Amino acid sequence: MAQRIAKVSLDFIEDTPTQKGIIGANVIAKMTENAIDFPSPDVSIADLVWANEDLKTRTQQAVNGDIQKIEERDASEKVWNTKFRKQALYVERISSGDKVLIAKSGYKHTDTEVSPKGKPVAGELEAWGNKAKGSIHAEVNPIANTKGIVFIASNQPINNNSLVVKNNQLKMSGNNNTEMEAILGTKRKVDFQGLVSGTTYYIAAIAFNAAGAGDISNVIDVTAP
């Protein structure tokens, strides 16, 4: 059996902005300490420092939940992802499968990963009316490779044609009477509150990660109590 060649793990792309700040600082420190092993990096250390400090600052500023600050943090994270991914590929190129050299860079190695993980698969959804008036409970099975889940409740049928995720925005086509509630989070169980009692809602969920949004789950229609 042929021996697997170590590659640089790109799992860090799916970490939180806070975790990325820690990872970035470690990569910067290691590559600076072992500069002789990394003489001509594709991204300068100064550029990595700038990207890492910018992400850390904007992550802290977004803690209060201000929408504009969150958008600025997300934009900074995209820049961070690009620079640290590019540097990871540089380390992989010159390491030629040497685990020790990869470790000297501050990145982690993997024997099997050849690219970032793909989008999550479609989840298996369950939903039912709660005892409370206007409340519907929804949950999906555990989904691997997931950063977060969007749960949707609409008074109009949901399918792949009516529901579209584009440019990180969730849109649903329909008539002027279409109403949609969406809950975004990391938990796989949610409760919709304040729905119109006696109205039938169509419930669905979409998991996402750094690679993008996965396929829509099965759709369940539930009449709000």
How many angstroms separate the CA atoms of 39 and 188, rounded?
46
Q: Which residues of the chain fall below pLDDT 50?
A: 1-3, 113-115
The pLDDT tens digits for 147-173 are 889 999 999 888 766 666 655 556 666
Within a domain: residue 67? yes
222 neighbors 181 (Cβ within 8 angstroms)? no
Number of domains comprising the chain: 2
| pLDDT at res. 7 | 87
| Domain residue limits at 69 | 7-110
pLDDT at residue number 167: 53
**154 in Cβ contact with 178 (< 8 Å):** yes
Report if residue 17 sits inside a domain: yes
| Greatest Cα pair distance in the chain | 70
Predicted confidence (pLDDT) per residue in 182-198, tens digit: 898 888 899 999 999 99
Are 178 and 96 contained in the same domain? Answer: no
Q: Domain check: are 106 and 129 in the same one?
A: no
- From its phi and psi, is residue 176 left (phi > 0), alpha (psi between -120 and 50) or beta? alpha
pLDDT of residue 42: 93
> 48 and 84 in contact (C-beta within 8 Å)?
yes
| Residue 12 and residue 105 in one domain | yes
Q: How far is residue 115 CA from its own chain's centroid?
A: 16
In this prediction, residue 67 carries a pLDDT of 86
**Cα–Cα distance list, 100 to 4, 28, 103, 202 (Å):** 15, 17, 5, 53
Contact yes or no for 12/5 (Cβ under 8 A): no
Strand 180-185 and strand 200-209: the pairing is: unpaired
Average pLDDT, the chain: 86
